[in-house]
Amino acid sequence: MESSKVIHAFYNDDEVLLDAVKAVKSEHYHIEEVFCPFPVHGLDKAMGLAPTKLAITAFFYGITGLSFAIWMTNYMMIEDWPQDIGGKPSFSWIENMPAFVPIMFELTVFFAAHLMVITFYMRSRIWPFKKADNPDPRTTDDHFLMEIPIHNNEEALTSLLSKTGAVEINIVDKH
C-alpha cells in the first residue's frame, strides 16, 4: 500500500457537485467514490461508471420463471396425474396452455422481480445487519462527499476542489 490517505470533499448542492466531478475528471484525477443523499442525474456518466446490467439479468430471471412455470404445469397437470376436469381432459400441455397463462405470467414476474432485487442487494452489498460505510452522516441528509485518493498531490487537489465549490475539505487516513 503506497498511500492510504484520501481527500473527502463535501458539497451541498447537486449541480455544484456535478460540475466539480467533471472538473476533477478533466484534470485526470481518479474519483474513488461519491456518496449522495439522493440520485443525481448524469453523475454516473460524469464519473465514468459503466451502465448497470441489472435490467438484463431481470430479463433472464424472467425467462427462468416462465420456463419453470411451463415445466411445473406440464409435470403436475399433464404427466404426473392427468385428470379430466369439467370435460376438459389434460393429456396435452399445448391444448391446456390457455388456462396456464396466468400462472406463467405470475411466475415470470415473481422470478424476475425477486431475483433482480436480490442481485442488486448482493452487488451493492446491502443486507440486514450490514454496517453502513458512508464516511459522514451528513451524506444521507444534504451533503455530497467526493473521495479522492492522494498521491503526494495534496496541494494541487485541495486548491482544485475548493475552486469547484467544496464547502469542506478533509484529509483522512483510510485504513
Partner 1 sequence: MSHYEAPIREPLVLGDKSYHDITEDIAKPIEGKANKNWYMAFYISLAAMLWGFGCIFYTVGTGIGVWGLNKNIGWAWDITNFVWWVGIGHAGTLISAVLLLFRQKWRMAINRSAEAMTIFAVFQAGLFPIIHMGRPWNAYWVLPLPNQFGSLWVNFNSPLLWDVFAISTYLSVSLVFWWTGLLPDFAMIRDRAVKPFQKKIYALLSFGWSGRAKDWQRFEEVSLVLAGLATPLVLSVHTIVSMDFATSINPGWHSTIFPPYFVAGAIFSGFAMVQTLLGIMRKVTNMEEYITRLHVEYMNIVIILTGGIVAVAYATEFFIAWYTGSPYENYTYLSVGAATGPYWWAFWSLLIFNIFIPQLLWFKKIRRSFIWSFIISIAINIGMWFERFDIIAIVLSKGHLPSTWWRFEPTFVDVGIFIGTIGFFFVLFLLYARTFPVIAQAEVKTILKSSGEFYKKRRAQGIPSKPAIVVAKSVSKEANSDKNKEE
Question: What track of x and - describes contact with partner 1 for positions 41 through 80 (by CB under 8 A)?
Answer: xxxx--x-x-xx-xx--x---x---------xx--xx--x
> Does residue number 84 form part of the binding site for partner 1 (CB under 8 A)?
no
Residue nearer to partner 1 on the CB measure, 30 or 114 = 114
For the bound state, the minimum distance from the C-beta of residue 1 to partner 1, rounded and expressed in Å, comes to: 14
- The DSSP line for 7-74 is EEEEES-HHHHHHHHHHHHHTTPPP-EEE-SS--TTHHHHHTPPPP-HHHHHHHHHHHHHHHHHHHHI
> Does residue number 160 form part of the binding site for partner 1 (CB under 8 A)?
no
> Does residue number 30 form part of the binding site for partner 1 (CB under 8 A)?
no
Give the count of beta carbons closer than 10 Å to the beta carbon of residue 148.
Answer: 20
> Does residue number 158 form part of the binding site for partner 1 (CB under 8 A)?
yes
